[in-house]
Amino acid sequence: MIHHGTKSPVMIKEVKKLQKRNSSSKSRSRERDRRRRSRTRSRSRSPRDRRSWGGSGGRDRPSSSRNSRGQPGANLRKPRWDLNRLEPFKKDFYVPHNAVQNRDPRIVEQYRAEKEITLRGKNIPNPVFDFDEAGFPDYVLREIKRQGFSEPTSIQAQGWPIALSGRDMVGIASTGSGKTLSYILPAIVHINSQPKLSRKDGPIALVLAPTRELAQQIQQVADDFGHSSGIRNTCLYGGAPKGAQARDLDGGVEIVIATPGRLLDFLESGKTNLKRCTYLVLDEADRMLDMGFEPQIRKIIEQIRPDRQTLMWSATWPKEVKNLAEDFLKDYAQINVGSLQLSANHNILQIIDVCQDYEKENKLSTLLKEIMAESENKTIVFIETKRRVDEITRKMKRDGWPAVCIHGDKTQQERDWVLQDFRSGKAPILVATDVAARGLDVEDVKFVINFDYPSCSEDYVHRIGRTGRRQKTGTAYTFFTPNNANKANDLIQVLKEANQVINPKLLELADSKAGGYGRNRGGRNRWRSRGGGGGCGSGRNGKERSYSRSRSRSYSRERNGRSSRRSYSRSYSRSRSPISNRNEVIGKSYWSSER
Ligand SMILES: Nc1ncnc2c1ncn2[C@@H]1O[C@H](COP(=O)(O)OP(=O)(O)OP(=O)(O)O)[C@@H](O)[C@H]1O
Ligand SMILES: [Mg+2]
Which residues have a beta carbon within 5 Å of ligand 2, which is an ion?
A: 179, 439
495-508 mean pLDDT: 96
- For the segment 257-281, the average pLDDT, to the nearest whole number, is 97
Indicate the residue type of 505. K
Residues 44 and 75: their CA atoms lie apart, in Å, by 24
Q: What is the DSSP letter of 124?
A: P
Task: Among 144, 158, 177, name the best residue to mutate to test ligand 1's pocket (greatest count of ligand atoms within 8 A of Cβ).
Answer: 177
Q: How far apart are CA 493 and CA 513, in angstroms?
A: 15
Mapped onto helix, strand or coil, the DSSP state of residue 281 is strand
Model pLDDT, residue 29? 54
Q: Is there an atom of ligand 1 within 6 Å of 441 CB?
A: yes
Helices (H), 227-259: 242-251
Q: Please state, in angstroms and rounded to a whole number, the distance separating the CA atoms of residues 13 and 521.
A: 35
- Cβ–ligand 1 contact at 175 (below 6 Å): yes
Of 70-84, 88-102, 216-230, the range with the lowest mean pLDDT is 70-84
The answer to whether residues 308 and 301 touch, using CB atoms and an 8 Å cutoff, is no
DSSP character string of 16-46: HHHHHH---HHHHHHHHHHHHHHHHHHHTTS
Reduced to 3 states (helix: H, G, I; strand: E, B; else coil), residue 336 is strand
User: Taking 60 as the threshold, does the pLDDT of residue 355 lie above it?
Assistant: yes
Which ranges of 115-178 would DSSP assign to H, the alpha helix? 138-147, 154-164
pLDDT tens for each residue of 362-415 = 999 999 999 999 999 999 999 999 999 999 999 999 999 999 999 999 999 999
Per-residue model confidence as pLDDT tens digits over 416-433:
999 999 999 999 999 999
The order of strands in the sheet holding 429-432 is 348-354, 474-480, 447-450, 379-382, 429-432, 403-406
- Distance between CA 581 and CA 578 in Å, rounded? 8
Q: Is 153 in the pocket of ligand 1 (CB under 6 A)?
A: yes
In this model, does residue 483 exceed pLDDT 90? yes
| Higher-confidence position of 19 and 368 | 368
Q: Residue 71: its pLDDT value, please?
A: 79
Name the residue among 519, 451, 442, 508 with its Cα closest to residue 479: 451
The CB of 469 under 6 Å from ligand 1? The reply is yes
Q: Ligand 1 centroid vs 177 CA: distance in angstroms?
A: 5
For residue 83, count other CB atoms closer than 10 A to its CB: 9
Q: Quick one: pLDDT at residue 27?
A: 52
Cα 546 to averaged position of ligand 1 atoms, centre (Å): 40
* Pairing state between β 333-337 and 169-172: parallel
Q: What is the mean pLDDT of residues 296-317?
A: 97
In the reported structure, the alpha carbon of residue 88 is separated from the centroid of ligand 1 by a whole-number distance in angstroms of 33
Ligand 2 centroid to 331 CA: how many Å? 24
What would the mean pLDDT of 307-319 be, rounded to a whole number? 97
The pLDDT score that the predictor gives to residue 532 is 33
Does residue 560 sit in helix, strand or coil? Answer: coil
Strand runs labelled E in 209-354? 233-236, 255-258, 279-283, 309-314, 333-337, 348-354
Longest distance between any two alpha carbons in the chain, whole Å: 74
Q: Which of 71-80, 185-194, 318-327, 394-403 is least confident? A: 71-80
The C-alpha atoms of residue 52 and residue 62 are separated, in whole angstroms, by 19
Q: Give yes or no for residue 178 CB within 6 A of ligand 1.
A: yes
Residue 593 has pLDDT above 50, yes or no: no
- Under the banding of pLDDT at 50, 70 and 90, the label for residue 346 is very high
- Give residue 69's pLDDT band: very low, low, confident or very high (50, 70, 90): low
d(CA 554, CA 547): 11
Section 116-142 average pLDDT: 95
Residue nearest to atom 1 of ligand 1 (CA): 152
Question: What is the pLDDT confidence band of residue 60, given thresholds at 50, 70 and 90?
Answer: very low
Question: Strands, E, within 173-314: which ranges?
Answer: 205-208, 233-236, 255-258, 279-283, 309-314
Average pLDDT over residues 216-235: 96
Amino acid in the structure at residue 350:
Q
Using one digit for the tens of pLDDT, what is the confidence trace for 78-104? 999 988 899 999 999 999 999 999 999
Residue nearest to atom 29 of ligand 1 (CA): 441
CA of 502 to the centre of ligand 1 (A): 29
Q: Phi first, then psi: what are they for 309, rounded to 5°?
A: -100, 130
pLDDT at res. 563 = 35
Indicate whether 182 pLDDT > 90: yes
Tell whether ligand 1 has an atom less than 6 A from the beta carbon of residue 181.
yes
Q: Is the CB of 465 under 6 A from ligand 1?
A: yes
Residue 299: which H helix or E strand, with range? helix 294-302
Mean pLDDT, to the nearest integer, of 272-292? Answer: 96
d(C-alpha 352, C-alpha 572), whole Å: 11
For the whole model, what pTM was predicted? 0.82
Percent of residues, the chain, with pLDDT higher than 70: 74
| Residue 256 backbone dihedrals phi, psi, to 5 degrees | -115, 130
The better pLDDT of the pair 189, 559 is held by: 189
Residue 199 has pLDDT above 80, yes or no: yes
For ligand 1, is residue 336 a contact (CB within 6 Å)? no
- Residue 395: strand, helix, or coil: helix
Q: 469: CA distance to ligand 1 center in Å?
A: 7
Contacts of 306 (CB under 8 A, 6+ apart): 81, 83, 330
User: Of all protein residues, whose CA lies closest to atom 25 belonging to ligand 1?
Assistant: 175
Phi, psi of 564 (to 5 degrees): -125, 155
Mean pLDDT on 53-64: 38
Distance CA 88, CA 104 (A): 36
* pLDDT, mean over the chain: 82
Structural domains of the chain, ranges and CATH numbers in brackets = 98-337 (3.40.50.300), 348-510 (3.40.50.300)
- The residue count of the chain comes to 595
Is the per-residue pLDDT at 559 higher than 50? no
| pLDDT of residue 213 exceeding 80 | yes
Per-residue pLDDT at 65 exceeds 60: no
The reported pLDDT for the residue numbered 424 is: 96
State which of 130, 153, 345 you would mutate to test the pocket of ligand 1, scoring each by most atoms of that ligand within 8 A of its C-beta: 153
Q: Is 549 in the pocket of ligand 1 (CB under 6 A)?
A: no
Q: Express each pLDDT in 521-538 by its tens digit.
A: 444 455 553 333 333 433
Beta-sheet pairing, 429-432 with 379-382:
parallel
Q: Which of 137-151, 269-283, 503-517, 577-591 shows the lowest per-residue confidence on average (mean pLDDT)?
A: 577-591
Calculate mean pLDDT across residues 455-484.
96
283 CA to centre of ligand 2 in angstroms? 7
Helix crossing, 242-251 with 260-268: angle to 10°?
A: 60
Q: Which residue's CA is the closest to the ligand 1 atom numbered 6?
A: 178
What per-residue confidence (pLDDT) applies to 75? 87
d(CA 261, CA 65): 7
154-189 per-residue burial string, b: 16 or more CB within 10 A, e: under 16? bbbbbbbbbbbbbbbbbbbbbbbbbbbbbbbbbbbb
